[in-house]
Amino acid sequence: MNDCVFCKIIRKEIPADFVYENDKIVAFLDIAPVNKGHTLVVPKEHHSDLLETPDDVLHDMIVRAKKISKAVMSAVKADGVNLGVNTKPAAGQVIFHTHFHIIPRFEKDGLRHWPSQKLTNEEMTFAKEAITRALA
């Protein structure tokens, strides 16, 4: 994809602060970080989102994300880490090239987790049955 910002970063047409690179994956600091050390793990192959990415590519991404997460936590002295993937605009995806966010977390960083809600037994049953059918 010629106009994809991550493809341009991978081709080194746009500068980025790379922290890791191999033949399949790159990782670089997010230019709008949630916390210091916020890193993106990106496949070199262009795939628009998680659902379009081949399983073998996702496997390599998650293995590298684990390794990079440990390094990020150690480097910035984080207390934890969130690994996030936004898929489709409704979920907040704005760059349409698959990527994982490694977000270092600190005990008093002020960030909150997404809210939960209480569903009725009927809603839970409907969701369970619909998901089970979709997986069949």
Question: What integer pLDDT is reported at residue 16 of this predicted model?
Answer: 97
> What are residue 83's DSSP bridge partners?
102
Q: Among the options 47, 99, 101, 113, which is catalytic?
A: 99
Are 38 and 73 a contacting pair, CB within 8 Å? Answer: no
The model's pTM is 0.92
Question: What is residue 45's predicted lDDT score, i.e. its pLDDT?
Answer: 96
**pLDDT computed for residue 1 by the predictor:** 63
Structural domain boundaries in the chain? 5-111
99 as an active site residue: the answer is: yes
- Nearest residue to 39 (alpha-carbon basis) of 58, 57, 26, 23: 26
Identify the pLDDT of residue 2.
Answer: 75
Give me the tens of pLDDT residue by residue for the chain, a chain 136 residues long.
679 999 999 999 999 999 999 999 999 999 999 999 999 999 999 999 999 999 999 999 999 999 999 999 999 999 999 999 999 999 999 999 999 999 999 999 999 888 899 999 999 999 999 999 999 9
- Write the class of the CATH domain 5-111: alpha beta
Neighbour-count burial of 41, counting CB atoms closer than 10 A to its CB (0-12 exposed, 13-18 middle, 19+ buried):
buried
Burial letters for 48-84: b for 16+ Cβ neighbours within 10 Å, e otherwise? bbbeebeeebbebbeebbeebbeebbeeeebeebeee
Contact present, 41 and 25 (Cβ < 8 Å): yes
User: Position 121: which residue type?
Assistant: N
Residues 6+ positions from 130 with CB-CB distance below 8 Å = none
